[in-house]
């Protein structure tokens, strides 16, 4: 059995696929102090750290890290290869795209969508949808960079 905690989501997925080809099993790693609703769905090779909570009807994709103390509320969707930072909070019905990084203590308000490949800076409060491949920071969060332009 393996758990891949480092690197970005696509790197975790690639390393996991390589290790699986050699016969290693990819499993979920869930800390005993985390709380996951019996109605939530957690994907392959996810890691849920100490004190994290995942609410009812939340859906977590594959190779996702839910870091220490993070809160993912009801009906949220976190797509593959994303990372929810320590003490981050996703309010109800939030959709986090693929390969998204949510920074420490960031808050995403209800029914917000964060586009694929985006980064939400530490402590940001996201009050409106975030376009794909964007970097947002501040209170309220605002786009400061588009990764697509690099």
pLDDT tier for residue 150 given thresholds of 50, 70 and 90: very low
In the chain, the percentage of residues whose pLDDT exceeds 70 is: 94
DSSP 147: G
Q: Which pLDDT score, from 0 to 100, does residue 81 have?
A: 93
63 in catalytic set: no
Catalytic residue among 31, 74, 83, 150: 74
pLDDT tens sequence across 84-123:
999 999 999 999 999 999 999 999 999 999 999 999 999 9
Q: Which two tokens stand for residue 120?
A: 């939400």
CA dist 20 and 12 (Å) reads 12
Cα–Cα distance list, 75 to 2, 54, 83, 93, 95 (Å): 29, 10, 18, 5, 9
Q: Report all structural domains of the chain as residue ranges with CATH numbers, in order of start.
A: 28-143 (2.160.10.10)
In the chain, the percentage of residues whose pLDDT exceeds 90 is: 76
Residue pair 96/114 in contact (Cβ under 8 Å)? The answer is yes
Sheet holding 95-96, edge to edge: 41-42, 59-60, 77-78, 95-96, 113-114
Please say if the pLDDT value at position 138 is more than 60: yes
pLDDT tens sequence across 28-62:
889 999 999 999 999 998 999 999 999 999 999 99
């Amino acid at each position: 059995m393996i758990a891949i905690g480092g690197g970005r989501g696509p790197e975790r997925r690639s390393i996991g696929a390589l290790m699986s080809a050699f016969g290693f099993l990819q499993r979920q790693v869930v800390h005993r102090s985390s709380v996951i609703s019996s109605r939530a769905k957690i994907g392959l090779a996810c890691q849920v750290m100490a004190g994290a909570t995942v609410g009812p009807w939340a859906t977590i994709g594959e190779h996702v890290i839910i870091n220490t103390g993070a809160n993912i509320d009801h009906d949220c969707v976190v797509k593959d290869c994303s990372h929810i930072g320590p003490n981050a909070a996703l309010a109800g019905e939030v959709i986090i795209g693929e390969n998204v990084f949510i920074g420490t203590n960031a808050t995403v308000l209800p029914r917000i969508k964060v586009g694929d490949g985006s980064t939400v800076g530490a402590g940001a409060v996201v009050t409106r949808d975030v376009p794909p491949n964007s970097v947002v920071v501040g209170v309220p969060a605002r786009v400061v960079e588009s990764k697509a332009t690099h």
